[in-house]
Amino acid sequence: MTRPEPLALPDLDDILAAHQRIAGSIVRTPVLHHPELDELVGSEVHLKCESMQRGGSFKLRGATNAVLSLSDDEAAAGVAAHSSGNHATALALAAAARGIPAFLVMPVDAPAAKRDAVRAAGGKVIDCAPTLAARAEALAQVLADTGAHEVHPYDDPRVIAGAGTAAVELLADVPDLDLVIAPVSGGGLLSGTAIATAALAPGRQVWGAEPAGADDAHRSLLAGRRLAGTRPDTIADGLRAELSDRTFAAIRAHVSGIVTVTDDEIVDAMRILFTVAKLVVEASGATGLAGLRALPQRLPPKAGVIVSGGNLDLGRLPFVQ
């Protein structure tokens, strides 16, 4: 396929159109509020529970919008992507709903539970080494062999628009939020969140939360230019990708800052979400709450946190000895 121009981004109209397009294919996930969590954090916290989404993460929103946007000719050979897990599952589900194949390149160190979920959703898994270069090389071969249409995990306006629909729902349910925070990896979720929030709630702060061991977004925003990362080292396996030029442009335009958190802080946030909110949340999904607790500023009265996913191996919980 020909990828859109590097800085082409969706606007609010695109996000609202995506919301209408995918409405029959996704769950409108709940926004939960727990007074006990407020006491722990020091702010009134509203959790947008994308961990309860079909496929276990917000990724179904962008994948479904992209698949449903394809013409019949574009969709005929199927879709393909590289992913550590959640986008792969989402794309497999979206493709199956349209009756087309999905080819998913996954690193060999992706969690077994996520690989199994992709296969259960009908996707074909292609193994690759656990580097971004290996992912790109394997995907290029798949595209050449199959003629499938690439649906990038985040570097695609259709995917970003779909991701932004979670913020549309959050702001509809709690319109007087002072701040919204979301995890950042490749930047699709944070970009969509920031674009939607800037349009629907001007002046409200949007923050990203990122593992300290995979902090390219934090460093890029400080430098004013996109910086490549080193080999990521974090428990949050869904947050190991790097920003694209497209997502960096949205983040630079609309995001107040990126806060980094340690793996210990992420695990602590997982524990809180399990015990206080009764939510099954993966490390990546808990990073937003960890980031809210670590913000380098006085917390606002009311904050929204996008809990991005809940796909994890329950036999290997990081806070269980």
Q: How confident is the model at residue 85 (pLDDT cuts 50, 70, 90)?
A: confident
In a 13 Å sphere around the CA of 52, the CA atoms on its Cβ side amount to 14
pTM of model > 0.75: yes
CA distance linking residue 318 with residue 215, whole number of Å: 21
Q: In this predicted structure, what is the pLDDT of residue 321?
A: 60
- Interacting residues of 221 by C-beta distance below 8 A, sequence separation 6+: 251, 252, 255, 257, 258
Looking at 150, 183, 218, which one is the last position of a domain?
Answer: 150
Average pLDDT on 89-111 reads 94
Distance set, CA 192 to CA 101, 158, 160, 249, 301 (Å): 27, 10, 5, 12, 24
Q: Is 16's pLDDT higher than 70?
A: yes
In a 13 Å sphere around the CA of 76, the CA atoms on its Cβ side amount to 4
Q: In this predicted structure, what is the pLDDT of residue 5?
A: 60
Looking at 52-61, 123-132, 259-268, 271-280, which range is the least confident one?
123-132
Question: What percentage of the chain carries pLDDT values higher than 70?
Answer: 98
Quote the DSSP letter at residue 226: -
Q: In this predicted structure, what is the pLDDT of residue 297?
A: 87
Beta pairing partners, 261: 211
- Is residue 308 flagged as an active site residue? yes
pLDDT of 37-82, one tens digit each? 999 999 999 999 999 999 999 999 999 999 999 999 999 999 999 9
Q: Is 19's pLDDT higher than 80?
A: yes
Q: In this predicted structure, what is the pLDDT of residue 6?
A: 58
- Sheet with 124-128, strands from edge to edge, namely 124-128, 102-107, 79-82, 149-150
Do 283 and 145 share a structural domain?
no
Q: How confident is the model at residue 1 (pLDDT cuts 50, 70, 90)?
A: very low
Q: In this predicted structure, what is the pLDDT of residue 295?
A: 96
In a 13 Å sphere around the CA of 29, the CA atoms on its Cβ side amount to 31
SS3 state at 157: helix
Q: In this predicted structure, what is the pLDDT of residue 4?
A: 53
Catalytic position from the list 59, 191, 244, 284: 59
- Domain containing residue 20: CATH number: 3.40.50.1100
Do 76 and 51 share a structural domain?
no
User: Is position 3 within any domain?
Assistant: no
Average pLDDT on 269-277 reads 97
Do 24 and 165 share a structural domain?
yes
Do 114 and 46 share a structural domain?
no
Q: How confident is the model at residue 309 (pLDDT cuts 50, 70, 90)?
A: very high
Q: CB count, 10 Å around CB of 237?
A: 23
Q: How confident is the model at residue 110 (pLDDT cuts 50, 70, 90)?
A: confident
CA distance linking residue 288 with residue 308, whole number of Å: 8
User: Is position 86 within any domain?
Assistant: yes
Pure H helices in 174-296: 188-200, 216-223, 245-254, 263-275, 283-293
Looking at 132, 150, 168, which one is the last position of a domain?
Answer: 150
Q: In this predicted structure, what is the pLDDT of residue 288?
A: 98
Do 230 and 101 share a structural domain?
no
Q: In this predicted structure, what is the pLDDT of residue 100?
A: 97
Do 160 and 21 share a structural domain?
yes
Q: What angle do CA 236, 239, 243 make, to 5 degrees?
A: 160
Quote the DSSP letter at residue 42: T
Do 278 and 197 share a structural domain?
yes
Dihedral angle over CA of 270, 274, 279, 282, nearest 10: 30
Q: Is 178's pLDDT higher than 60?
A: yes
User: Is position 321 within any domain?
Assistant: no
Q: In this predicted structure, what is the pLDDT of residue 2?
A: 47
78 in Cβ contact with 16 (< 8 Å):
no
Do 284 and 199 share a structural domain?
yes
Range of the domain at 27: 12-57+156-316
Average pLDDT, rounded, for the chain: 94
